Amino acid sequence: MNRVFIIIINVLFLLNPDFIWGQQTGKVAESSRTSSKKEVLKALNAYVEYVNEVNNYLPIINSLMVDYNMKLNTFVDLPSHQPSQFTNALFPDNLFDDVIFQHSPNALFQKAIQLSSVLPQADKTKLVGMATQFKDNTSYINTSRFEVEQMLVKLDLTKMENITKVYDKMETVAKAFKDSKKFQYELEYQIKTTYKNFLGGAPGNTENIYKALDEVYHLARLEIEAVYENNNEELPGIMSSFQQTINQLKAVDLKEYNGTFWMNPFTQSKLTSIVQKAEGLQTEANRFSSFENIPEKFNLYGRNYYFYNHAFLVKLNRFGMGVAAEINEIFVNNKVDKLMYFELPYDYKVIYPRKIREEVFLPATATFIKTVPQKVQDREVVKADRVIEVDRVEIEFEVYDHKIIDNDIVSILFNGDWILEKFKINEKKHKFKIKLNESGVNYLLLHAVDEGRRPPATIAINYYANNVKNQIILNSTITKSELIEIVLKK
């Protein structure tokens, strides 16, 4: 669902601006218009403001849920990361009633509903219904933080069945976070459709600077979503187009705008910030593409989650005064009649402690991979001349040094996730369990950190298939990493 809406909203609108701004098809008859364009635009922007404000409150609940997750993990595995004292007591019962940043999200919701009176009834009904669905979902996220906290206090967490209940509850919150994204895309599509059908035509400003800002925003979103979806096939092309658009924005001759608001100090500072944040997104996308290591505390969350939540959204949302937020502030401060840009919601993922993880088969964070990587951390990837053939999706591996113990230190990449990092190989077998994707490619990659006294770094990997124990040998140097595909025989 997410991918469909991204393609519709971003690719179609970016490559075919007339879809939004061109001459409308099936537009409302002129005589039926009882509201001004400014009134309609104000109503539609009220929905955008509401969703954006919610998206800047969600990180608070995300942080609370992460802390409660860590607290629960300590009952299972004491060496887990210790939580902070960040609790619900620091915030009101209904977080979305409070004014933490600029506005109360729920007050903005009521404003959007009231302003909808200027819209055609059919459009109003759709928008109110979609916004209400979005609100109900985020309200569930808000109330669930108290339920999780109470479960931690009241349940006997020495019993595994109670621990499981809390994990199950947290999984419903994780689903609600993902549903927020889906509901936002549906609302966003309807808002743009209403704008096109009711207002139609060009917005009256076709200068290069508007076009450049529009493309910077849409390509920033495409880049972020490509990372979130682990779309390594399209990401290089998006990054290339994004860089060209950034260069076009930097090349705009502002002398053409003498005497306009584009030259005032406020707008100038925003334009500078937009370029900086866009270039920052490019830097992070390069880090992601190179499979650079992420901070250790995020290893269990996976690369996609880390880059999406902690490297990209701060460069798009107001939470970090990112690209979308800065463009919107230009529009608001200078009273520009433009449809505002949507920010994106945070994600949340439940993390299980080591003791539980060792008993389950861990899936990759990327649920579909089209091709294997060609480079990892600027190192050439060499594909093994054989494959691992298995007869089931859940596989247990044993890794060890099968010859001379020479202090090899390696990392192992499984479908884009570093499942072992800077691990010193010896004769003792280290076990790990993985769950393969049922479609697309699956792979393991050996990445040498230290080749030891006798290069290259060499490891043996044991695994079972068709009830037979098999062994493979992988080698890696400091310039080349060896990758082996895992083929699921169905």
Both 184 and 208 in one domain: the answer is no
- Give the per-residue pLDDT at 82: 57
Are 157 and 75 a contacting pair, CB within 8 Å? yes
> Is 195 in the same domain as 216?
no
**Same domain, residue pair 301 and 396:** no
Q: Which two tokens stand for residue 4?
A: 């469909």
Residue 328 has a pLDDT of: 96
Q: Is the CA virtual torsion 306, 312, 316, 319 positive or negative?
A: positive
Instruction: Give residue 255's identity as a one-letter amino acid code.
Output: K
Q: How many domains in the chain? A: 3
Question: Quick check: 410 and 447 in contact, CB under 8 A?
Answer: yes
Boundary of a domain, candidates 174, 202, 230: 202
Do 25 and 164 belong together in one domain?
Answer: yes
Shared-domain flag, residues 387 and 309 = no
Q: Which of 176, 202, 228 is the last residue before a domain boundary?
A: 202
Q: Does 346 map to a domain?
A: no
How far is residue 246's CA from residue 274's CA, in Å, rounded to a whole number?
9
Q: Of 466, 424, 420, 470, which is closest to residue 445 (Cα–Cα)?
A: 420
311 and 175 both lie in a single domain: no
pLDDT in tens, the chain (490 residues): 444 444 334 433 433 333 333 333 333 333 334 468 889 999 999 999 999 999 999 999 999 999 899 888 888 765 555 556 678 888 888 888 888 777 899 999 999 999 999 998 999 999 999 999 999 999 999 999 999 999 999 999 988 889 889 999 999 999 999 999 999 999 999 999 998 887 764 444 456 788 899 999 999 999 999 988 877 778 999 999 999 999 999 988 888 888 899 999 999 999 999 999 999 999 999 999 888 888 877 877 878 889 999 999 999 998 888 999 999 999 999 999 899 999 999 999 888 776 665 566 777 777 788 888 888 888 899 999 889 999 888 888 888 887 666 678 888 999 988 888 888 888 888 888 888 998 889 999 999 888 776 778 888 889 888 778 888 888 898 889 999 999 988 7
What backbone phi and psi angles, to 5 degrees, belong to 262? -60, -20
For residue 342, being part of any structural domain is answered with no
- Note whether 372 and 453 are same-domain residues: yes
pTM: 0.76
Segments forming the whole domain that contains residue 413: 361-488
Give all strands of the β-sheet with 430-435 in edge-to-edge order: 362-363, 430-435, 394-400, 457-465, 468-476
354 falls within a domain: no
The residue out of 184, 202, 220 marking a domain boundary is 202
Whether residue 350 lies inside any domain: the answer is no
Question: Which two three-digit tokens encode residue 86?
Answer: 């960040």
Residues 249 and 120 in one domain: no
Are residues 421 and 299 in contact, defined by beta-carbon separation less than 8 angstroms?
yes
How far is it, in rounded angstroms, from Cα 219 to Cα 82?
Answer: 38
- Coil, strand or helix: which one is 434? strand
How do strand 388-390 and strand 417-424 relate by DSSP bridges? unpaired
- Distance from C-alpha of 318 to C-alpha of 321, rounded to nearest angstrom: 4
356 domain residue, yes or no:
no
Residues 259 and 383 in one domain: no
Q: Is residue 348 part of a domain?
A: no
- List of residues 6+ apart from 23 with CB closer than 8 A: 200, 201
CA distance 131 to 96: 14
Residues in contact with 186: Cβ distance below 8 Å, sequence separation at least 6, in sequence order: 5, 130
Domain-embedded: residue 322: yes
Per DSSP bridges, beta strands 388-390 and 394-400 are unpaired
CA atoms within a 13 Å half-sphere pointing along the CA-CB vector of 197: 15
| Structure tokens given for 233 | 């096939």
User: Alpha-carbon distance 151 to 87, whole Å?
Assistant: 14
Structure tokens at 76: 């299972």
Let me know whether 85 and 50 are in one domain: yes
Same domain, 16 and 123: yes
Residues 173, 39, single domain; the answer is yes
Q: Give the N- to C-terminal CA distance of the chain in Å, as an integer.
A: 27
Domain presence at residue 192: yes
CA distances from 345 to 51, 217, 385 (A): 9, 16, 43
293 closest CA partner among 418, 125, 201: 418
